Amino acid sequence: GNSVTQMEGPVTLSEEAFLTINCTYTATGYPSLFWYVQYPGEGLQLLLKATKADDKGSNKGFEATYRKETTSFHLEKGSVQVSDSAVYFCALLNSGNTPLVFGKGTRLSVIA
């Protein structure tokens, strides 16, 4: 079946630190991969996506590269800000009429 595994949180970083949140997946076929972010008190927002192997999704300084050989889609940011504090969800969408499959989420706290 389809599943997503992401690193356990919470992750606490100082402002301007480098961020990596690991995400690996299991899927049949060739899924599209997503990172969603949930800020405190708000709904899920799409952060970035990649639809095929070796694609790099990027937005707001965040990046993730679709690695088919390692079935991974790790989220990175070179210099985090306090405003990046949120819960980050890795997700996949397989071909056909299927819903998103989410990881459990990783809570990031950035301190000044």
* Number of residues lying near another protein (CB under 8 A): 26
- C-alpha dist (Å) from residue 5 to 16, 22, 80: 26, 8, 23
User: Residue 56 region, left (φ>0) first, then alpha (ψ -120 to 50), else beta?
Assistant: beta
Q: How far is the CB of 42 from another protein (least distance, A)?
A: 7
**Nearer residue to another protein within complex by CB, 45 or 81:** 45
Q: How far is the CB of 79 from another protein (least distance, A)?
A: 27
* Binding positions for another protein, 62-101, rule CB under 8 A: 89, 91, 93, 95-101
The pattern of x and - marking residues 5 through 44 that bind another protein according to CB under 8 A reads ---------------------------x-x-x-----xxx
> 80 and 30 in contact (C-beta within 8 Å)?
no
Residues lying near another protein in the complex (CB under 8 A): 4, 32, 34, 36, 42-46, 49, 51-52, 89, 91, 93, 95-105
